[in-house]
A = this chain, B = another copy of it.
Amino acid sequence: MALTKTEIISTALGILDAYGLNDLTMRRLADSLDVKASALYWHVANKQSLLAELVDKILAGLEPPELDATADGDPWRPSLRGWATELRARLLDHRDSADLVASMRAIGLAGTELSRAPAAVLTAMGMADQEATTASQTLIYFILGHVDEEQQRAQLGALAGEASPTPVMDGTASFAAGLNLIFDGMAAALPHDG
């Protein structure tokens, strides 16, 4: 049976989860598929584009945040909080994914422009376009930076004594705290609500 791109991508994701980004090489991936490394180049242009597709797969199905019209107070807050929490969860599902997404994002290869979805919510709330763009980018930097640090720490922990007694700080809690800080900053830039 001929190789398929889908098969390649999901095998790559398996290697990423089990051994990390450093061990995700074209040769190792080929070995896992019982094929020579050069065979991969019939299906993908190069490693970069393979990684970009991996990012797409990791982020696939991430729903853009929606404003709940029935909510009163700050409807955008729970909306963005839910979206950010979903994004973090997907990243935490795959080892080294925050690092991977950040590097792909920089090269502009990742199909998903992450900051667009939250920006739309903010403009819907009356924020100016440029301000909304900046604010969402700040949000994305926070999410990727935070999760990257969580994943790096998890790896260090795995190297030292397994099951570390207590993590330095609860990731979920500090993530929530950081989100609140950014939301408070956004609130200050939003038109005054009654």
Q: B-contacting residues of A (Cβ < 8 Å)?
A: 99, 102-103, 105-108, 130-131, 133-135, 137-138, 140-142, 144-146, 148-149, 152, 156, 169, 174, 177-178, 180-189
- Number of identical monomers bound together in the oligomeric complex: 2
In the docked arrangement, what's the CA distance between A106 and B105, Å? 18
Closest-CB distance, A185 to chain B (whole angstroms) = 3
Q: In the complex the two chains form, is A181's CB within 8 Å of B140's CB?
A: no
Main secondary structure of the interface of A (DSSP, over half): helix
CA distance A144 to B141 in the complex (A): 8
Query: With a CB–CB cut-off of 8 A, which chain B residues contact A146?
Result: 137, 141
Q: Within the complex, what minimum Cβ distance (angstroms) separates A159 from chain B?
A: 11
A133–B108 Cα distance when bound, in Å, is 31
Name the residue of chain B whose CB is nearest to the CB of A146: B141
Tell me if A149 and B106 are in contact (CB < 8 A): yes
10 contacts between A and B (CB under 8 A): A102-B102, A102-B148, A106-B152, A107-B156, A108-B152, A134-B174, A135-B181, A141-B141, A181-B189, A185-B185
CA distance A148 to B106 in the complex (A): 8
